[in-house]
Amino acid sequence: MKRIILFGAPGCGKGTQADALEQQYGYKKISTGDLVRAEVAAQTPIGLEIKTLTEMGRLAPDETILKLLKNRLAQGDLLNGYILDGFPRTLAQAEELSRMTVDTETAIYLKIVNEDVVVGRLTSRLTCSQCGAIFNSVSNPPRKAGLCDLCGGPVRQRADDNEETVRRRINVYREQTQPVIDYYKRLGKLHEVDASGTIEEVSAAISGVLN
Ligand code: AP5
Ligand code: MG
């Protein structure tokens, strides 16, 4: 079993690139952000507990996220591998993940230096509320306005994609997630990719790491 971990600031393109990798290599994408949003939408006890926190751009508790991740991993549809999008985000999560052994593990850091680039991408992002597909009103609009190209569901702005919350998410990322990148660097598993180019350029750089 192979594990690919995608790291990077909010808006660096983790979800977009994980979708591309799923198509290209057949690995399953596991986005903890999508798992969290599904709980919130379904108003489960976990969803009700973390709704305000996540919509304000703060991290959900480690135990809650680990429970969601372990449930997802137990579904048994992971074939030969999976891509983690948005996990681990704290050192405690990274240490727990290291205890879930796999045959090979590659960590890819999608690096963007200019904060305004990610703020611009996120405040114009549109997300399908049915299947989670990712669009952008400026650079990648859905073919039919307001509707997902893949499933026909309604596309909307995420509750946490307003500028104030995006800037808070970036601060949370700097404080809590940057140290995780150093953790993978110390393990010798980290590959850095410039994520400021086009979607295709970033995909090509990731393929260069994986092949
Ligand atoms: P999550 O959903 O993971 O949000 P995030 O990390 O803030 O990342 P984003 O989804 O905003 O960005 P992305 O990198 O996926 O970019 P995307 O590909 O969409 O987490 C949300 C919340 O859930 C957290 O705040 C927290 O509350 C909770 N949570 C989740 N995981 C957790 C964990 N492990 N622990 C605790 N809490 C957790 O691209 C963005 C936009 O840019 C799109 O419009 C896209 O079309 C466009 N785009 C992408 N690539 C390019 C490019 N190369 N050029 C131009 N535009 C591009
Ligand atoms: Mg995402």
Identified catalytic residue from 58, 158, 167, 185: 158
**Centre of ligand 2 from the C-alpha of residue 169, in Å:** 12
- Could you give the 3-state DSSP secondary structure of residue 5? strand
Answer yes or no: is 167 within a domain: yes
Closest atom, ligand 1, to C-alpha of 8: 14
Domain count across the chain: 1
The verdict on residue 142 lying in a domain is no
Res. 76: pLDDT tops 90: no
* pLDDT given at position 41: 95
81-85 sheet: strands from edge to edge: 28-31, 81-85, 2-7, 104-111, 190-194
Determine which one of 51, 72, 89, 121 is catalytic: 89
- Domain range for 184: 2-113+162-210
Pairing of strands 81-85, 28-31: parallel
**pLDDT at res. 40:** 97
Percent of the chain scored above 90 by pLDDT?
A: 98
Model's pTM, two decimal places? 0.98
170 pLDDT exceeds 90?
A: yes
Phi, psi (deg, nearest 5) at residue 207: -60, -35
Domain of 34, CATH number, reads 3.40.50.300
Q: Among the atoms of ligand 1, which is closest to the Cα of residue 195?
A: 53
In a domain, 70, yes or no: yes
